[in-house]
A and B are shown apart, each in its own frame.
Chain A
Amino acid sequence: MSSSSSPRGFALSSRLVHWVMAVLILAMLGLGLFIAHSSTVHYVTLLHLHLITGVSLLVLVIVRLLNRFVVPTPELPADLTTPMRLGATGAHLALYGLMIAQPLVGWAMLSAGGYPITLGGSVTLPPIVPHNPALWANLRQIHTILAYAFIAVILLHIVAALFHGLIRRDHVLSSMVSGK
């Protein structure tokens, strides 16, 4: 399966965007859960941080997709069983889907709720759907469901990565850690 054209490790640009997004996404999910399950005098500040990070992640996922199409990615190990191969592809598709959908749902949900989306000072994002309270209620629910799905797939992703590195001892983990 290993073709001569595909590299053994991920390029620096791929690793950089992976790890920066990994840190931001974990922080984002933790922050979102905390905001949704507490009342604090810092609520407005934390929510604003959540918004700014969400916008940054939306920009980063576009960069990541462009990078993905330009820079070649390593193949999975040739001896991987078909179920594991399907699992890996499915999980990665889910992660990409969630990375794209979650910030867009957040943006659409605030738009439907009639909330102005202020990034800072007088910089605001335009609404992407019309003001519609029923849609707001649905999108707010979807934002929560996607967050829990995101957490589940990330945990699976980490288990799989460590399984490759420590149990199978193949090149999959090192291809994203050291690029070798």
Chain B
Amino acid sequence: MSQTSSSRLLRWGCVLLPPALLAAGFAWAAGLFSPHRLSTARFMTVLENGGGAAPGFRRAHSKGLCVLGQFDASGAMTAYSSAAVFSQSHIPVTGRLALAPPFPHIVDGPGIVRSMALRLQPDHAQEWRTTMNDPPLQPMRDIQDAFASFSANQRDPVTHKPDPRLAKAYEEARPWLKTAYAANRAHVMSSDFANDTFNSIDSFQVTNAQGERHTVRWSMVPVSPPEAPVRPEDAHDPNVLFTHVIASLHQQPLRWNLVVTIANPSDPVNDPSQPWAPTDRTVTAGTLTLHSSASEDNSPCGGMVFDPTILPSGLSLSGDPLPALRSAVYMRSFVRRSGETKDPSSITPAMTQPH
């Protein structure tokens, strides 16, 4: 090879190598060299394989009802957090009551995990979105557990049902979840949404006006819930839990106290599968009052994402790993369902009208 042609080759190499390296860097960022990376797309796949992947519906907590109301802060949390949601009254609330499984038309049953998601929008201040479930603890401690747990719930392609052996194997491989499983099994499910307690499970951080920080969890605890209406047709109503809460809301507002638990220094603040000390200080931050309900087919809650990392100043993420995962996966689910044509929800607009 002549000197000129080899130097020409070298110069062409210098032209092409830097962009090639840069392209490789972008490919790495996009996960092309990391097939085992737990991308949100892989989470979506296991969630969709676990449920019906019904177009237009949320990929988890798929069956739900919008609720409207207000939050009135007691002022007691202002010692711990400067967030406006803890000092204002008559804060408008848009929320959603749902069943956790990824099936939008699942038949209501007493053993199914229920959830409450809320968006609090104070006047001239930052909003707060929060999601809560009724079990006391999370049977997963981190993102790896979450992926393994959803994977264990995938439906078998032949039987179209999850293999119970997978769920059992998930539990047995994780001795650190013993406490969470025991607590959730001992948890007595309430009869209805109206008398249910919903827990943040994940921890968050609060900061007050002096800059002092504390780690907290919270619960929505029902206040004098009405007697559950019992009707002869209940046994055959596939939407019995939603029918009950809609009927209750037509009779009277439903109220919950927001009870915030302040972590003590020995509490495991970064692990949603572990309980905190029962002696921890609690603060009643205010009262949630739900006035009415609406089908998610004609209410703004249908097109809303209850991303628990949407926090006002004075409330922030802790070291708990799961809210970040929820935010990422919810965004992916929100994109997919928003671009799809949705079938009518099980809870139709007509069902939320007074009879």
Residues of chain A touching chain B, judged by Cβ–Cβ distance below 8 Å, are 26, 29-31, 33-44, 47, 113-116, 118, 121-122, 124, 131-134, 136-138, 140-141, 151, 154-155, 158-159, 162-163, 166-167
State whether A40 touches B324 (Cβ < 8 A).
yes
Interface contact B305-A37, CB-CB below 8 Å: no
Q: Which residues of A contact B323 (CB under 8 A)?
A: 44
Count the B residues whose beta carbon is within 8 Å of the partner chain — how many? Answer: 49
Please give me the residue from chain A that is nearest to B14 by CB atom: A166
Q: Are A37 and B22 interface neighbours, CB within 8 A? A: no
In the complex, given contacts A39-B143, A44-B327, A133-B334, what are 4 additional A-B residue pairs having Cβ atoms less than 8 angstroms apart? A39-B38, A134-B338, A137-B338, A162-B18
Pick the residue among B18, B23, B312, B328 that contacts A39 (CB under 8 A): B328
Interface flag for B71 (CB, 8 Å): no
Chain B's interface: helix, strand, loop or mixed, by majority?
helix
Residues of chain B having any CB pair with chain A under 8 Å: 11-12, 14-16, 18-19, 22-23, 25-26, 29-31, 37-41, 43, 125-127, 142-143, 300, 303-305, 307, 309-310, 312-313, 317, 319, 321, 323-325, 327-329, 334-339
Contact in complex: B309, A44 (CB < 8 Å): yes
Contact A158 B19 (CB under 8 A): yes
Complex contact B15–A163 (CB within 8 A): yes
Q: Is the CB of B126 within 8 A of A116?
A: yes
User: B15 and A166: CB pair below 8 A?
Assistant: yes
Interchain CB contact (< 8 A) of A121 among B12, B40, B313, B321: B313
Q: Which residues from chain B contact A151 at a C-beta distance below 8 Å?
A: 23, 26
With A133-B338, A159-B15, A166-B14: A39-B40 Cβ-Cβ less than 8 Å:
yes
* B16 shortest CB reach to chain A, Å: 7
Q: Write the chain A residue with the least CB distance to B334.
A: A113
Q: Are A136 and B324 in contact (CB under 8 A)?
A: no
Across the interface, do A30 and B307 meet the contact criterion of CB distance under 8 Å? no
Contact B126 A118 (CB under 8 A): yes
Q: A33-B26, A33-B29, A131-B303 given as contacts; is B324 within 8 A of A41 (CB)?
A: yes
Provide the main secondary structure of the chain A interface: helix
A155 partner residues in chain B, CB cutoff 8 A = 19, 22-23
Let me know if B15 and A114 touch, CB within 8 A.
no
Assess the B30–A33 pair: CB atoms within 8 A. yes
**Complex interface: chain B residues within 8 A of A122 (CB):** 125-126, 312-313
Residues A34 and B12 in contact in the complex (CB < 8 Å), given A39-B329, A43-B327, A133-B303 = no
List B contacts of A29 (CB < 8 A): 26
Chain B residues with Cβ below 8 Å from A114 are 303-305
5 pairs, A vs B, C-beta closer than 8 Å: A30-B25, A41-B324, A136-B335, A158-B22, A166-B12
Please give me the residue from chain B that is nearest to A32 by CB atom: B29
Contacts of B304 in A (CB 8 A): 114
**Known interface pairs A37-B37, A44-B324, A159-B19; A136-B334 also in contact (CB < 8 Å):** yes
Determine if B22 and A39 form an interchain contact, defined as CB atoms under 8 angstroms apart. no
| Residues of chain A within 8 A of B321, CB atoms compared | 41
CA–CA, A39 and B38, complex, Å: 6
Provide the residues of chain B in CB contact with A166, threshold 8 Å: 11-12, 14-15
Contacts of A42 in B (CB 8 A): 324
5 closest A-B pairs by beta carbon, nearest first, are A137-B339, A133-B338, A137-B338, A133-B303, A33-B29
The answer to whether A39 touches B43, judged by C-beta atoms less than 8 angstroms apart, is: yes
Contact A115/B15 with A34-B29, A39-B328, A43-B328 known, Cβ cut-off 8 Å: no
